[in-house]
Structure 1
């Protein structure tokens, strides 16, 4: 357990490096945008492609693909709980959609993938990608529409949804890297060494640049200007208590192998999606609430993960 926690501590130290270099004015919002574009459009898709084609065989993938049922169902149930929680605690209409999205959707790539590898090793990557597929589908469909509905002058029921834009966001480069890698695997196409080396070198940029971006966001926002109110507390409750409990509870209905279950629990108990504040700004909704949810979920995760490491070690 100590080794796993030290690996996670390295992740937070890299976030700290991003924060310090922002303080020294090496990094700014423009650099964060550049790093995000490199990760989302180049490094991460190649990382996904390489993981799909290198980590397991066609037969192994077909056998574990059934595991999609558990994370997909857990996200639907968690979203239902978020709707009920928002209604009971009277979350304002101007932040209700953002609240439900943060409550339900985990940061499965920028934080989830590095932490999963640090705790379980690269053998857990295929399971992390299964959760990623379900999480991304929710976030870029219902999640974005819910956030857009928070605008005080926008009526959600009259809003026109651009299907092409929605599909473009859903089939992001990262997801396309996963899909192409999947097809490559299923068709059993050959991989050449230069192709593997090229993908590996660029794919290795995913983790450091992703963590630098989080460090930049924390610095640019300023922790002192943020506070935990009842709605931010509700987001933390959803991320770190309700979402993983739903996964664990559903595992009795949809049983999966032990390692897969542990990965799903870790992935479901990740901080808020790091793109939430950027999207909140774009939709002209409650950006301060979105940023508070992100930053407090990231800062508290260093302590939350200790609890989950103890709990997961006790699972068979």
Structure 2
């Protein structure tokens, strides 16, 4: 348990370093964009491919697919619960789509992957990826569509949603790296040592660059600018109470390996996706609400994760 805490502390130390370097003006918002693109297009695909080829056998992977029922079922239930919350607490129409998306979908890669690696090691990566596939698919389809509906000009907002663009987001470089690694495993192909070393150096950039980017985002949001209200409180309940609780309950009904369920619980209880404020701005939604929710979710996570680990480990 102590080792897990220390590993998580290292992860958050990287985030605070990104925050501090931005404060010293060595980093900027532009730097966060560059880091995000490097992670998503180069480091993460290499990381996905190597983790598949190094930690998987063909039979092991085929045995995992039944576990996808838990993340899929939990997100559908969380989505329905979030809609009830918006009606019961009268969440503003200009925030409802963003609220539902933040309540339902979590930050499964930028924070989910490093945190799970810190707790469980590379053996957890297959389970992280299973949750990631479901989470990403729902986020870039249903989530983006709901955020588009926050635009006061609903008709134009609907027209701005393009299924092909969403499909392109789902089949991101990270997922493509995962799929290539999957084919490699299923065909039992050998991996040349020099290719593995080259991709290993690139893949090792994933965690530090991801946490630097999050630190920059928190700084740019501004801690003093965070404003709590019932909508943000509801988002935090969705992220840190309802989502992991639903996953745990489904895990009592659907038998999966213990570590798989633990990883799913941790993945479901991650902060908000980094891209939500950017997407909210592009669709004409409430950017301040999205940015404040992201800031609160990251800061509260520092206090929340030790409590969650006490419950599940």
With the shorter chain as reference, the TM-score category is over 0.9
Residue 163 of structure 1 and its aligned partner are, at CA, apart by 2.7
Q: Partner of 2:137 in structure 1?
A: 137
Q: Is the 8 A contact 1:149 1:156 kept in 2?
A: no
Q: Partner of 1:152 in structure 2?
A: 152
Residue 124 of structure 1 and its aligned partner are, at CA, apart by 1.0
Residues 145-202 of structure 1, C-alpha deviation per residue, up to 9 Å, x if partnerless? 1111101112379536423212111111111111111111112222111111111100
**How many Å separate the matches in 2 of 1:7 and 1:190?**
32
**How many Å separate the matches in 2 of 1:119 and 1:160?**
40
**How many Å separate the matches in 2 of 1:73 and 1:12?**
30
Where does 1:56-67 land on structure 2 (aligned, <5 Å)?
56-67=56-67
Residues 132-151 of structure 1, C-alpha deviation per residue, up to 9 Å, x if partnerless? 11111111111111111101
Q: Partner of 2:32 in structure 1?
A: 32
**How many Å separate the matches in 1 of 2:183 and 2:62?**
12
Where does 1:283-298 land on structure 2 (aligned, <5 Å)?
283-298=283-298
**How many Å separate the matches in 2 of 1:286 and 1:95?**
6
Q: Is the 8 A contact 2:149 2:158 kept in 1?
A: no
Secondary structure of 1:195 counterpart: helix
Gaps of 5+ in 2: none
Q: Does 2:83 align with 1:83?
A: yes
Q: Partner of 1:55 in structure 2?
A: 55
Q: Does 2:240 align with 1:240?
A: yes
Q: Is the 8 A contact 1:74 1:250 kept in 2?
A: yes
**How many Å separate the matches in 2 of 1:96 and 1:266?**
25
TM-score by length of 2: 0.97
Cα RMSD (Å) of the superposition?
1.3
Q: Partner of 1:270 in structure 2?
A: 270
Residues 86-142 of structure 1, C-alpha deviation per residue, up to 9 Å, x if partnerless? 111111110100000000001111111111111112111111111111111111111
Q: Partner of 2:260 in structure 1?
A: 260
Secondary structure of 2:56 counterpart: coil
Q: Does 2:230 align with 1:224?
A: no
Residue 20 of structure 1 and its aligned partner are, at CA, apart by 0.6
Compared with structure 1, are the counterparts of its residues 2 and 86 closer, same or farther at alpha carbon in structure 2 (3 Å cutoff)? same
Where does 1:95-244 land on structure 2 (aligned, <5 Å)?
95-155=95-155, 159=159, 161-244=161-244
Q: Is the 8 A contact 2:11 2:114 kept in 1?
A: yes
Secondary structure of 1:83 counterpart: helix
Q: Is the 8 A contact 2:141 2:163 kept in 1?
A: no
Q: Partner of 1:13 in structure 2?
A: 13
**How many Å separate the matches in 2 of 1:82 and 1:269?**
15
**How many Å separate the matches in 2 of 1:245 and 1:102?**
16
Q: Partner of 1:305 in structure 2?
A: 305
